[in-house]
Structure 1
Amino acid sequence: MKPLKTTFTTITLVLFLLFTFSCQEKISKKENLETSVQSQIDSIEGTIAVAFYSLSEPKDSLFINIDEKFHAASTMKVPVMIELFKQASEGKLDLNDSIVLKNEFKSIVDGSLYSMDIKDDSDDVIYSQIGTKVTLNDLMYSMITISSNLATNVLIELVDAKKTTETMRDLGAKNIEVLRGVEDQKAYDQGLSNSTTARDLMIIMDAIATNETINQKDREAMINILKDQKHKELIPRYLPSDVKVAHKTGSITGVHHDAGIVYLPDGRSYVLVLLSKNLKDFDKGTEQLARISKTFYDYYN
């Protein structure tokens, strides 16, 4: 019979080796992930930012160009949605109330009037409702799920862009700027555009998923709206159908973004933000960004 001390030493050594191997395997997986993602980014002609953050235990993350500034495009519609729920919770408005739909807005440069063009909007149905009453809930749903620009401008005028940015600061998003509605050409010409970083959108998505300063009922309502997203070219594109994604896309010339929360069937979840600008080939860039999303899914799963 072996002495007790020798047996204990052997067991300790085995456990140490198993722990070391486990740690090395995890490090190796993470290194492979970073290498794979960077290789995919390098294949894109343009500037890319990525933020990956696990919402489940153990915590995990990967950040690339996370503080690079990007034109926010339609991702700024998520802060507007959050501000709508915030003001509703404060009793300043009721999301079930209706508002007369108009198509006349003031430029932030000089207050001159401009209108939205149906040809430049992803929502053509809403234009038939101009002059009629539409509920705030319906406008918000269209703003997020089909990225209606007309609905966005009506809502951002209602809740105020400055207050929306202030709320993002309160959530911890320090650099995102919500300055104005969509298609304000005078503002655009002067460089006055909504902007964001991957870090800010990650913080905002994390807040929708977990932040207790937003009541749970509102968070669940926002997640359900985001899960109904109709534009699925990026994060969900190559993921299995049983994986649910609560997300918001955004695109303009040379720019394609997606920011969301990915929910796996086993209950785990993670935040993923993919931002791009100066894309030489929009379709190729979109394809590779969708592949990057699949890379993260394969790693996490």
Structure 2
Amino acid sequence: MAMFGKRRDEEEYDEEYEVQTPRRKIRDLKPENRKRRKEPVKPWGKKERYVVLVILLVTVLVAVALGISARDFKLPGFPKIKIENPFKEEVIVVGSKKNYSKIASDFKEKTKNLSGTYALYIIDLSNNYSFGVDGEKVMQAASLIKLPVMLYVNGKVDDSNIEAMGKRSDNVVFSQMRSKFGDTALQSYIDELGMKNTSIEKNETTPKEIGDFFKKFKDEPMMEYLVDTIFEDWLPKGIPENIKIAHKYGREVHVINDAGVVYAEKPYVVVIMTQGVIEKEADEIFPELSKLVYDGMNK
């Protein structure tokens, strides 16, 4: 009986062992159950890796393009990226045969290793000869856009408003003038002045149009509000202190402009506009560029 009892105990133990032992799962390979089967995660193949690589390259290229465009496609120490228009009409300037090329070439030399674009436009008032570097390039006007507005409102508002826009470049007064007279009327007046590339809404103009403005209105009483302004560290700093200059200064992010009439023995109009620049660089180079022009025009 003991023997039978022992065998019974062993059988019960075997049954318990079989229950506790997990059974190995056999993969269901039946075609009709294919949709219910979970496929194992496959590693990336060549196709997926190429897609990721292309996305990364495009991201890098877009970032580089945006960075360069912020500097007006001009980086320090590198030539400016330009797409020339083969159908662009060549402008022939008629005037004195005097050679002004050294001023333009020295200007290019001084600015070639700086960020952004530096444009120059000069009119010799003794013979009306004009020349420059990127003189017809449409650029951000900054506060130069106040010039035609000051002329338009002259006689229509108190002179203190014109003085504020001239000597202090007061943006609050400028906004009040725009609200009072409206951009439509102001733009119509700007067009009548022949400033076809100047937009008050877009805040754009060209060095040439600003230069022509100063040439045309250099003897207007309004010019007195552009003398001894609070912005004398740019164009005026490169000119002897005893020389009168009526000028308008403007500044925005990556933009520093200054333009005016220099009433020297040999008077001239000078416009220096920038775009995509490093402000600190521009602040430092501006007096040097102004002196370069003054020395070249008054030899």
TM-score scaled by length of structure 2: 0.64
Aligned partner of 1:64 in structure 2 is 133
Give the counterpart letter for 2:286 in structure 1: L
Q: 2:177 aligns with which of 127, 130, 155?
A: 155
State how 1:279-290 maps to structure 2 within 5 Å: 279=277, 281-290=278-287
Indicate conservation of the 8 Å contact 1:54/1:269, yes or no.
Answer: yes
Report Cα offsets for 1:121-143 as digits up to 9, x if no partner: xxxxxxxxxxxxxxx32122111
Are 2:212 and 1:203 equivalent residues in the alignment?
Answer: yes
Are 2:276 and 1:278 equivalent residues in the alignment?
Answer: yes
Report Cα offsets for 1:135-184 as digits up to 9, x if no partner: x32122111111111111112222222222222222221100012xxxxx
Aligned partner of 1:45 in structure 2 is 115
Q: What fraction of aligned residue pairs are identical, expressed as a percent?
A: 24
Unpaired segments ≥5 residues, structure 1 = 1-22, 96-135, 180-192, 211-218
Indicate conservation of the 8 Å contact 2:238/2:294, yes or no.
Answer: no
Give the counterpart letter for 2:275 in structure 1: K
Give the counterpart letter for 1:40 in structure 2: K
State how 1:156-195 maps to structure 2 within 5 Å: 156-179=178-201, 193-195=202-204
Indicate conservation of the 8 Å contact 2:238/2:289, yes or no.
Answer: no
Q: Distance in 2 between matches of 1:234 and 1:251?
A: 11
Give the counterpart letter for 1:272 in structure 2: V
SS in 2 for 1:237: helix
Q: Distance in 2 between matches of 1:195 and 1:154?
A: 20
Q: 1:33 aligns with which of 97, 103, 106?
A: 103
Aligned partner of 1:251 in structure 2 is 251
Give the counterpart letter for 1:60 in structure 2: Y
Indicate conservation of the 8 Å contact 1:145/1:226, yes or no.
Answer: yes
Residues 241, 47 of structure 1: CA spacing in aligned structure 2 closer, same or farther, 3 A cutoff?
same
Q: CA RMSD in A?
A: 1.8
Q: Distance in 1 between matches of 2:196 and 2:227?
A: 26
Give the counterpart letter for 1:174 in structure 2: K
Higher RCO, 1 vs 2 (CA within 8 Å, ≥6 residues apart) = 1
Q: Distance in 1 between matches of 2:215 and 2:194?
A: 10
Are 2:209 and 1:139 equivalent residues in the alignment?
Answer: no
Indicate conservation of the 8 Å contact 2:104/2:132, yes or no.
Answer: no
SS in 2 for 1:81: helix
TM-score scaled by length of structure 1: 0.63
Q: Distance in 1 between matches of 2:276 and 2:107?
A: 19
Indicate conservation of the 8 Å contact 2:207/2:272, yes or no.
Answer: yes
Q: Distance in 2 between matches of 1:249 and 1:156?
A: 19
